[in-house]
Every structure is written in C-alpha cells, then in structure tokens.
Amino acid sequence: NYARLMNKDTVKAADRAHVFHSWSAQELIDPLAVAGAEGSYFWDYDGNRYLDFSSALVYTNIGYQHPKVVAAIQEQAAKLCTLAPGFAVDVRSEAARLIAERTPGDLDKIFFTNGGAEAVENAVRMARVHTGRPKVLSAYRSYHGATSGAINLTGDARRFGNDSATAGVVHFWGPFLYRSPFHATTEAEECERALRHLEDTVVFEGPASIAAVVLEPVVGAAGVLVPPPGYLAGVREICDRHGIVLVLDEVMVGFGRTGAWFAADHWEVVPDLLTFAKGVNSGYLPLGGVAISPAIAETFARRPYPGGLTYSGHVLACAAAVATLGVMAEEGVVEQSARTGAELLGPGLAELAERHPCVGEVRGMGTFWALELVRDPATREPLVPYAASGAAAAPMAAFAEACKKGGLWPLTAGNRLHVAPPCTVSAEDVARGLEILDGALAVADAHMA
C-alpha cells in the first residue's frame, strides 16, 4: 500500500520519479503535493489552503467531496463496480435519461465516453457517417481535446505540437469583439461579419464536402468568449441551409458553468449533436458523452455505429452522474451559478478592472469569467505575447505566483486569468477571492509597458 507516501517529500519524490505530466517539459515543473480537498478548497501537506478558482480543470462544478456523490459512488461500488457497455444496467439507463432530459430540444439518445476529447471524436464520426461528407469546420479560438482528431480541430496554440493530421479540418474566426478579426466596433457588427465570414468559408470549401461545424457555444479554454446575441442562431441557420451537422461542444460550459444547464440554452439554439464531460459528474470519475438528435440516431437505427469504448457508460461514473445531477437540482446549483455571476463575480471583477490598468477587459457569465491582461489598455497589447513560454511569459507567471501566495489557485491561459470557481462557491469565498486577486493584479500592473 502507499501509506508510506505520507508527507510531501515522499509524494513529490515518487511523482518526480514516475509520473509523466500533461503539456509539460518534465524537468521544468514542480507539482504541488496536495493532501486533501473539500468544497471550494484544497490544501497541501504544510497546511496551506487554496481557494480553487480553477475548479480543477473547470470541472468540479459542485466542489470537491460532495458527501452525497461520495456516498453514491461508495454504494454503487459495493453493489456493482463495472459491466461491459453492451448490457442494460439501471444506473447507466438513469444517467442517460437524466442527461437527455436536461439537454436542449430533442437530443434524446446518449453515447457515453470517458471524457471530452472522445466525445468530440465520436460526434465527428457520427456527423461524417450521417452526411457522407469528409470536412469539419472549427474556430481558431477553440479547444476540443488532445486526441488526434480533437487536437487538430482545436484552433488555439495547443494544436501546434500536433499539427500533422489536419486532413479534413478547416478553421474559421468566431466573434470576439475585444480583438475583432473583422475590425468591428459593435456587437451587432461583429455578429453580422462573423456570420458572413463563416458563410464564405462554407461556400469556398464546398458545402457538399462539409460534415460538421464544431463550436463551443461559449468558448472556454481559448478565452471565455460569450457570443453576441444572434450568432449561434445564425450558425444554426447556415448549417441548416447547407445540410451541415451542428456540433456544440459543451464539455467545459455544460452543467451549470454559465448559469444555465447548457450554454446553448441562453440563446435557445438546439444542435444536432452536443458533447459533454467534466461537470456531468463534477469529474469525480471520468465520464463524457454525445447527446444525439433523432435524425442522426436514425442513421444508426439499422446500420451499426462504427465506434465504441471499453468503458462506455462506466457504472461507477454513471452513479456519480446520477448523484451529481440530483444534487444540482436539489441545491439549485445552476441558479446559484447564474446569481453568483450577476450579483458577485460580474460586478466584483468590473470593479477590479476599474482600479487596475492591466485589466483590458472583463467578460463572462455565471461562474465563468476572464480578465484580459494587457501591457497597454489603449493598444490592447497582451501582457504576454500569444503562445509565449519561458521568460516571455514571466509577467503572467509572477501574477499566478502572487495569487497562490495569497491563497487562491488561479487558472491562467496566455495573457488571461480565467475565473472559474465551483458553481457552488459561497458569497464569502467570492469576496475573499476578489480580495486576493486585487493584490495579485497589482503585481501584473507593475509588469505593464
């Protein structure tokens, strides 16, 4: 057993010897040894507590160690840990029913995966088989996962080290008024030009060759970009007109993150396929999936679906989903996320922006916000260049360090701070978090031009 790993030195030593970490130069990282977590906090072996404003990787929507979800996993483990995906099993059926009930419109069938990237891979596979077309369109400012297909759909810089298999993927620009690719000055102008650009891309790629548009309804890891009113409906209309499948990737923003069950609900847009993961069970066990429209389900009614996974609909992960969705309904977690955004985070972050010249823009909704940190608010030059690393990224590293010193675990990406506490974060913890950010932003101010 691993009881001998009882202090930070032994935990760290074993980690450094044997754990190979994601996205990292292995010798240049120094992972914090974490001893435990509860609610909105985790703590290290020296008793330092961190207010987790990253929700792990934006997935602990109900916080760490919710007792009802822990108990449900324990009960299910005692009853039945696992069963092959081909069987019908009560807890998997119930998880699928609950998810289908929450997803927008008529998305009624659920294909389960172990996470987000696999959900995206399978959505694209469904769209290609359904349409018989090869190409897929996705946004430059996007993140869709790190498996071969999903990383090439990903438009942001995480694609760079993997860009060997882009066959069939075409990127386009989505709306982002603060750094408008269309030189727009109003939301309405940005929306109209972004839709015209997408239409032009479709026409020049050849609509009959395009299976799907894959889009995050609120762009997550690549910037927390809330679309202007009308944009998603416009994308839906373009897809309909050209027989293109609309895949909305709700892996990061689904299950309460934006203050609605799904981000698409804010604009009442129903995709043909919806990918989810993370918040579906607060990440207590790996689970993701694709919610499928009747028309696409029909394609596979009498023809085998050419895909599957050993752990599709894993019994323990489904038990965690059933319990999580129950907690979210009982405790009004989605409503709380909306209120926290409208009443606390939105106004609080705007107030910080007024006092700190390094904050170029505040944007977001629910418990999902971003601060765009800049060297110069007039030119909007980012505090660190796009895809910077090492010395070039030092100002953001200093800012993140100041947050941690203050007791807040931040989520930074490029020149941005993403603010994504659990949807259940308390008003006191929001106030505490804002106070810590206030101090850390002074460090970022000092790094301006």
Span of 110-118, 224-232, 321-329, 364-372 interacting with ligand PLP by CB under 6 A: 110-118
Half-sphere exposure of 346 (CA within 13 A, CB side): 13
Q: Judged by CB under 6 A, does residue 251 bind ligand PLP? A: yes
Q: Judged by CB under 6 A, does residue 128 bind ligand PLP? A: no
Which residue in 69, 127, 202, 221 binds ligand PLP (CB under 6 A)? Answer: 221
CA distance 328 to 426: 15
Q: Judged by CB under 6 A, does residue 156 bind ligand PLP? A: no
Which residue in 51, 263, 277, 402 binds ligand PLP (CB under 6 A)? Answer: 277
CA distance 309 to 319: 18
Look up residue 407 and give its two tokens: 């007791």
Site string for ligand PLP, 356-375 (x = CB under 6 A): --------------------
Q: Judged by CB under 6 A, does residue 249 bind ligand PLP? A: yes
Residues near 342 by Cβ (< 8 Å), separated by ≥ 6?
259
Which residue in 56, 117, 353, 430 binds ligand PLP (CB under 6 A)? Answer: 117
CA distance 175 to 187: 9
The count of chain residues that interact with ligand PLP, using the rule CB under 6 A, is 16
Other C-beta atoms closer than 10 Å to the C-beta of 138 total 27
- To ligand PLP, the closest distance from the beta carbon of 174 in angstroms equals 13
Q: Which of 220/223 has CB closer to ligand PLP?
A: 220
Q: Which of 344, 343, 403 is nearest to 373 (CA)?
A: 403
245-249/273-276 β-pairing: parallel
Q: Which of 253, 330, 427 is nearest to 69 (CA)?
A: 330
Q: Are 258 and 337 in contact (CB under 8 A)?
A: yes
| H or E element in which residue 342 lies | none
Look up residue 379 and give its two tokens: 């030119």
Which residue in 39, 220, 289, 422 binds ligand PLP (CB under 6 A)? Answer: 220
Span of 8-16, 200-208, 213-221, 236-244 interacting with ligand PLP by CB under 6 A: 213-221
Span of 61-69, 179-187, 216-224, 390-398 interacting with ligand PLP by CB under 6 A: 216-224
Which residue in 39, 63, 104, 115 binds ligand PLP (CB under 6 A)? Answer: 115
- To ligand PLP, the closest distance from the beta carbon of 142 in angstroms equals 7
CA distance 175 to 296: 28
Q: Judged by CB under 6 A, does residue 155 bind ligand PLP? A: no
| H or E element in which residue 74 lies | helix 67-79
Ramachandran region of residue 109, left (φ > 0), alpha (ψ -120 to 50) or beta? beta
Site for ligand PLP, residues 42 to 71, rule: CB under 6 A: 57
Q: Judged by CB under 6 A, does residue 216 bind ligand PLP? A: yes
Site string for ligand PLP, 283-302 (x = CB under 6 A): -----x--------------
| H or E element in which residue 288 lies | strand 288-292
Interface positions with ligand PLP (CB under 6 A): 57, 115-117, 120, 143-145, 216, 220-221, 249, 251-252, 277, 288
